[in-house]
Amino acid sequence: MIAYLLRRALWTLSVLWVVFTLSFLLMNAVPGRPFGGDRGMDPEIEKIFRARYHLDEPIYVRYGYLLTDYLRGDFGISKTLRDFSINEIIAQGLPVSATLGLLALLFALTFGIIAGIASAVRRGGLVDHSLMAVATVGIALPEFVVAGLAIIMFVFILPWFPSAGWGSLRHLVLPVVCLGLPYAAYIARLTRSGMLDVLSQDYIRTARAKGLAPSTILTRHALKGSLLPVLSYIGPATAGILTGSLVEEKIFAIPGLGIHLVESVFQRDLTLAMALTMLYTVILCLMNFIVDVLYKVVDPRIKLDA
Amino acid sequence: MHKPLLQVEDLRVEFHTDDGVVRAVDGVSFNVAAGETLGIAGESGSGKSVTNLAILGLLPRPPARIVGGRAMFDGRDLLTLSQPELRRIRGRRVAMIFQDPMTSLNPLLTVAEQLTEMTRLHLGHTPRQALDHAVTMLEKVGIPAAGRRVHDYPHQFSGGMRQRVMIAMALSCKPDLLIADEPTTALDVTIQAQILELIRDLQRDEGTAVVLITHDLGVMANLCRRVAVMYAGRIVEESSVDELYSRPHHPYTLGLLRSRPRLSGGDGRLRPIDGQPPDLSRLPSGCAFHPRCPFVVDRCRVERPALLPTPFEGRAACFVSKEVAAAAEVELD
Ligand SMILES: Nc1ncnc2c1ncn2[C@@H]1O[C@H](COP(=O)(O)OP(=O)(O)O)[C@@H](O)[C@H]1O
Ligand SMILES: [Mg+2]
């Protein structure tokens, strides 16, 4: 297990290194002056940037400097947000975005799994048909449509929630639900088909032949196996929620990192864009790492040295 | 004679599928006495599994529908029991082992978890007692280092060892009846003999009655005193093993005996039965076996023969059973 964790950690680090290198090269390949904007840069700022990012040195030296900075956890400075270091921007925005993202993931898992199990157990019934209809719609609709409908419904028609902002529980509800909904829907379908697949297995018949109660069979013999596909989906779901949060943060005016990432791209704030890209990559890699390890804990058939 | 432990009468099971109604079991009756081993033989698709799954209420409903019959066990009809009542019988009084030990054990639970949940439920064992009992059972079925292996997962065992685990699990509550549905079909030939021997030894030691289902008549000879042969959802012949092997009264039984590899005698060739087993949703008129039967007479095409006693304490469903028996005696001698 230790050896496996080490190997997996090494792999994750190499992925991060590749992403870092590619981002660095892309950043340098952007047309125009290095770190320059459309209208050029304030000479004052440009001087600071020249010094901070060693812009007079050849590219491989700059690469070395930047890599060292990142390894030390110093993400440098931004040309658009001059009052803060990028580290300060992240320190402000990350808790907000992480709260939004994690709650959305939690919402998606909880509702998706419960709905999926209910559908599978009542297969072919009214519960199944209505839940799966909702799920199909939930998967098909783009985030901004869901968010738009939700705002019309629960802000204007039924004034239950504020339309935008951050700070209270009531602010959280709509963005979390809108962000998590497509993933809840997909997880519901995954859970349902996983559960139906497991329930048709020979070993479920064995469990019934042993005289176990249906609830025991469901929880002890079927649940684990039926959630394996959901577990593998957590990686992609995290990636989706990360990008989805860019849209939701914009719609609901949430002071997270998403807005900074979008703005940094529009403003050609390359140092900020690169820092946030790396941050999102780290989060995604971390999630995949956790999922991989969990998968091996749940399914003993998977060899650790594979 | 003892009152039978299990008495199945006129069991009828249908499957309602998109292609129509499949009569998988069509009026099957048999008895099993306490401590006895009954063999049920027949080609695959003849309704052996469905018969026994129906008795324990294990068929998927829908599509399965039990349309008639009784299965008396200990004075009660299993077919009319409620699910909670049935659960107290399953595993506790009647246990079952299945064909494929690779898929019949839960791959995500250890052997210990799968064995102990049963005795904790039915015998009220504490976790400690249940684990000790599980180890004892694994030792009994010949699993080496049982104390350690009990914590392994099914995939860490070979096919034969897994079937031993299944047997240990099935017998762990000392059931009165063990239904073994083709317990060796999925195993290597050398392992098959070991598993059958194990079932026989345990059956003798524990006094458990056994219903042994197989499509291989050869397997039966060593284990059973009585054998029922099924064809197209019906029992076509039932008699003692000795009788069945030397003087079958149904042409289908004779066909099965001919198609069995033998070490000596005959010309050494395998002779499979001509033709295919019938489609159960479109059964032939009269005797379901008549299109494949070398002894067929006109009556077979229009009238279905009843299962009637033979002169030798067996039962056979054939209009020309005397001729079959005479021909068989000459051929199988
Ligand atoms: N789930 C099912 N749905 C439809 N038909 C079935 C199902 N299970 C069994 N059958 C029918 O019942 C017949 C008998 O099956 P089975 O009892 O499994 O045969 P075997 O003698 O090989 O054990 C099969 O030929 C098949 O047509
Ligand atoms: Mg079968």
Task: Give the tens place of pLDDT for each residue, B216-261.
Answer: 777 788 788 899 999 999 999 999 888 888 888 888 888 888 877 6
| Ligand 2 centroid, distance to B114 Cα (angstroms) | 23
Cβ neighbours of residue A77 under 8 Å, at least 6 residues apart? A48, A49, A52, A85, A86, A271
- What number is the ipTM of this complex? 0.86
The distance of Cα A81 from the centroid of its chain, to the nearest Å, equals 25
Is the shortest distance between the CB of B63 and ligand 1 below 6 Å?
yes
- Report pTM: 0.81
* Residue B173, Cβ density class (10 Å: 0-12 exposed, 13-18 middle, ≥19 buried): buried
- Cα separations (Å) of A27 from A43, A184, B81, B274? 21, 36, 74, 76
The pLDDT value given to residue B263: 47
Q: Which residues of chain A are within 8 Å of residue B59 when distances are taken between CB atoms?
A: none
Sheet architecture: strand order including B64-73: B20-32, B6-17, B64-73, B76-77
Q: Is the dihedral of CA A80, A85, A87, A90 positive or negative?
A: negative
> What is the overall mean pLDDT for chain A?
85
- Evaluate whether A242 touches A261 at the Cβ level (below 8 Å): no
* Burial state string for A39-57 with b = 16 or more CB within 10 A and e = fewer than 16: eebeeeebeebeeebeeee
How close B149 comes to chain A (CA, Å)? 15
How would you list the strands of the sheet with B209-214, edge to edge? B94-97, B177-181, B209-214, B37-41, B226-231, B234-240, B315-316, B308-309
pLDDT of A205 reads 93
At A39, the pLDDT band (50, 70, 90 cuts) reads low
| pLDDT confidence bin for A196, thresholds 50/70/90 | very high
Is B89 in Cβ contact with A203 (below 8 Å)? no
In sign, the C-alpha dihedral spanning A248, A249, A250, A254 is positive
Cα(B282) to ligand 2 centroid in Å equals 20
What is the distance between the terminal CA atoms of chain A, rounded to a whole angstrom?
Answer: 12
- Chain A partners of B121 at a C-beta cutoff of 8 Å? 210-212
Q: What is the structure's pLDDT at B117?
A: 94
Q: Which of residues 194-233 of A touch B (CB under 8 A)?
A: 201-203, 205-213, 216, 220-221, 224-225
Q: Using alpha carbons only, what angle is made at residue B153 by residues B151 and B154, rounded to the nearest 5 degrees?
A: 130
Would you state the pLDDT for residue A255? Answer: 87
pLDDT of residue A303: 64
Ligand 1: does its nearest atom lie under 6 Å from the Cβ of B119? no
Q: Residue type for B321, please?
A: S
Q: Which regions of chain B are under pLDDT 50?
A: 263-264
Q: Do B87 and A225 touch (CB under 8 A)?
A: no
Q: Do A208 and B90 touch (CB under 8 A)?
A: yes
Taking the domains of chain A in order of start, what are their residue ranges?
Answer: 1-306
Determine whether the shortest distance from the Cβ of B228 to ligand 1 is under 6 A: no
* Residue among B12, B13, B15, B55 whose CB has most ligand 1 atoms within 8 A, to mutate: B15
B323 touches chain A (CB under 8 A): no
- Residues from chain B contacting residue A205 (CB–CB below 8 Å): 58, 98, 104
**Which positions 105-144 of B are in contact with A (Cβ < 8 Å)?**
105-109, 117-118, 121-122
**Which residue CA neighbors atom 7 of ligand 1 most closely?**
B15
pLDDT given at position B45:
86
- Interface test mutation site (partner B, options A203, A295, A296, A304, max chain B beta carbons within 10 A): A203
pLDDT for B122? 92
Q: Name which residue leads in pLDDT, A126 or A197.
A: A197
Rounded to the nearest angstrom, the minimum Cα separation between B125 and chain A is 15
Of ligand 1's atoms, which has the minimum distance to the CA of residue B51?
A: 17
- Measured by CA distance, the residue closest to atom 24 of ligand 1 is B45
* Cβ contacts of B316 within 8 Å, gap of 6 or more: B236, B237, B238, B239, B249, B250, B307, B308, B310
CB contact (8 A) between residue B169 and residue A300: no
CB of B314 closer than 6 angstroms to any ligand 1 atom: no
Residue of A nearest to B109 (CA): A221
Ligand 2 centre to CA of B49 (Å) is: 4
**Nearest-ligand number for the alpha carbon of B20:** 1
Query: Out of A38-42, A243-247, B75-79, which region has the weakest mean confidence (pLDDT)?
Result: A38-42
For an interface test with B, give the residue of A206, A224, A301 to mutate (most B CBs within 10 A): A206
pLDDT per position as a tens digit, A152-195: 877 777 777 777 777 777 788 888 888 888 899 999 999 999 99
Q: What is the pLDDT of residues A43-99, one digit of tens each?
A: 777 788 888 888 888 888 889 989 999 998 888 888 888 788 888 888 888 888 888
Query: What is the structure's pLDDT at B267?
Result: 55
Q: Which residues of B touch A298 (CB under 8 A)?
A: 108
Tokens matching residue B83:
């699910």
Q: Is the peptide bond before A162 cis (omega within 30 degrees of 0)?
A: no
- CATH for A1-306 is 1.10.3720.10
Angle at B80 between CA B78 and CA B82, to 5 degrees: 90
The answer, yes or no, to whether residue A35 has pLDDT greater than 60, is: no
3-state helix, strand, coil in chain A (%, to 5): 75, 0, 25
Residue nearest to atom 12 of ligand 1 (CA): B24
pLDDT at A295 over 80: yes
Q: Ligand 1 atom closest to Cα of B181?
A: 23
pLDDT(A30) > 90: no
